[in-house]
Homo-oligomer: A and B are copies of this chain.
Amino acid sequence: MISIHNEPQPTDLGDVRVANRAVVLRHIRLHAPCSRADIAARTGLNKATVSSLVGELIDKRLVRETGLTENRVGRPATMLVLDGEPYAALGLQVDADELVAVAIDLGGNRLLTWRRAFAAATVSPAETVRALAALSRRAISRVTAQGRTVLGLTVGVPGLVDPAGAVPLATALGWQDVPVAADLRAALRQPSFAVGADTVANLAALAEQRHGAYAGTTDLVHLTGGISVGAGTIAGGRLLHGARGLAGGIGHLRLDPTGPTCFCGGRGCLTALVGLPAVVCRLLPDADADGPITDYLPELERIVALARQDDPTVLSGLAAAGRHVGQAVALLADLLNPEVVLLGDHLATLAPWLLPAARATLTERTHAPDAGGCRLDASTLTTAAALGGATAALATIEAGRLPAR
């Protein structure tokens, strides 16, 4: 039985049919075109089981028969390939100044990427859920109009998210005990698909594992930037969620007891030192002269422009931020020993100026020789969390669950 990414291994034998379905799907993905007999021979499953599973998969249009047959002695065997084009999934992402929607098909192709300006931290959770629902409805209409069925939707939130898709705490948004998945499900009025939620960091890590420059890596960390810094970890090929789904909290690691106050109430937290609002406020002290910032992109572009002009204040501020990033990454490297830590969001945008100091600190601060082999790089994905949300929404199919329709 094979371990499926992002889906805990079967733990009792009642799950065997689902697991076997996943094995069949995986076999077809890796070896298509292939026959039912091939699958039975290579997996050890009996032919009746394989035929029954393939029948379901064809019925659900996850697999289709090709016109091809195998050249061999005896009755020609019909060859199977993955289908999946009729299916899509949606990922959403709440960030400092925008909502993002991404749709992909079962093959991982992006069908749409939409960004909508929205300052979630300045409005109520209910308003944010309404805006997410409106964005989802438009995206679903678009995808449905293309003849595709939406299989699921996962929203990424910068905060803690439990396995039920509720947010016990998202200090960056001012949220406490917000059942975001349930509220979004209710706002969408009886969607025919599962609506889930996870942290932006976890979803971004999933996107890295499937679609990023280090795709296929079994041990990686995506460090989200934006409004709140968090760590999404793929360990041994699977997302690390923890006992209550709350793993990944590194944003409030206290790096500097004399550092700036964080919105969590602590001092010198990683988020208060290198989060997007913190970096903008530190490097552009005039940025909020006209009132609270609701759109960080122009400010980030100003910082990039100043850095390109070798502005000494900005360069030294970015080097300091890089050292703080390096301290956090050193901790992740020693504790989790990932192959790579990828910086996302504004940390990726600012990577040319952050990475030199961050890498030097990583090497200096890790106990393992050569940082345990851990590399530090900028993510090459855009809207990684939303992409990961769509990927997560498809993972149940890959793990052997059937679409509901």
Tell me the minimal C-beta distance from A238 to chain B in angstroms: 6
Q: Is the CB of B42 within 8 A of A236?
A: no
Q: Name the one of B42, B245, B336, B374 contacting A13, with C-beta atoms under 8 angstroms.
A: B42
Q: Is the CB of B42 within 8 A of A16?
A: yes
The stretch of A111-119, A138-146, A247-255 that contacts the partner chain? A247-255
Tell me the minimal C-beta distance from A359 to chain B in angstroms: 17
Tell me the minimal C-beta distance from A136 to chain B in angstroms: 28
Q: Is the CB of A3 within 8 A of B236?
A: yes
Q: Name the one of B42, B46, B246, B372 contacting A337, with C-beta atoms under 8 angstroms.
A: B246
Chain B residues near A11 (CB-CB < 8 A): 2-3, 237
Chain B residues near A46 (CB-CB < 8 A): 44-47, 49
Complex Cα distance, B369 from A171, in Å, reads: 11
Also in contact, A249 and B42, with CB within 8 A (given A236-B8, A244-B337): no
Complex Cα distance, B365 from A253, in Å, reads: 9
Tell me the minimal C-beta distance from A159 to chain B in angstroms: 10
Complex Cα distance, B366 from A244, in Å, reads: 14
Residues of A in contact, count (CB < 8 Å):
69
State how many copies of this chain the complex holds: 2
Q: Is A27 an interface residue (CB 8 A)?
A: yes
Q: Is A368 an interface residue (CB 8 A)?
A: yes
The stretch of A17-25, A87-95, A123-131, A303-311 that contacts the partner chain? A17-25
Chain B residues near A13 (CB-CB < 8 A): 2, 23, 26-27, 30, 42-43
- CB-contacts of A177-233 with B (<8 A): 217-219, 231
Also in contact, A264 and B367, with CB within 8 A (given A13-B43, A42-B16, A331-B253): yes
Q: Is the CB of B250 within 8 A of A337?
A: no
Chain B residues near A12 (CB-CB < 8 A): 30
Complex Cα distance, B26 from A16, in Å, reads: 13
Interface string of A1-17 (1 = CB under 8 A from B): 11100001111110011
Q: Is A168 an interface residue (CB 8 A)?
A: yes
Q: Is A351 an interface residue (CB 8 A)?
A: no
Q: Is A338 an interface residue (CB 8 A)?
A: yes
Q: Is A285 an interface residue (CB 8 A)?
A: no
Q: Is the CB of B241 within 8 A of A236?
A: yes
Q: Which residues of A contact B (CB under 8 A)?
A: 1-3, 8-13, 16-17, 19-20, 22-23, 26-27, 30, 42-47, 49, 160, 168-169, 171, 217-219, 231, 235-238, 240-254, 264, 331-332, 334-339, 365-369, 372-374
Pull 9 A–B residue pairs with CB atoms less than 8 Å apart, ordered by A: A13-B43, A16-B43, A44-B49, A46-B47, A219-B243, A246-B337, A249-B334, A250-B335, A253-B334
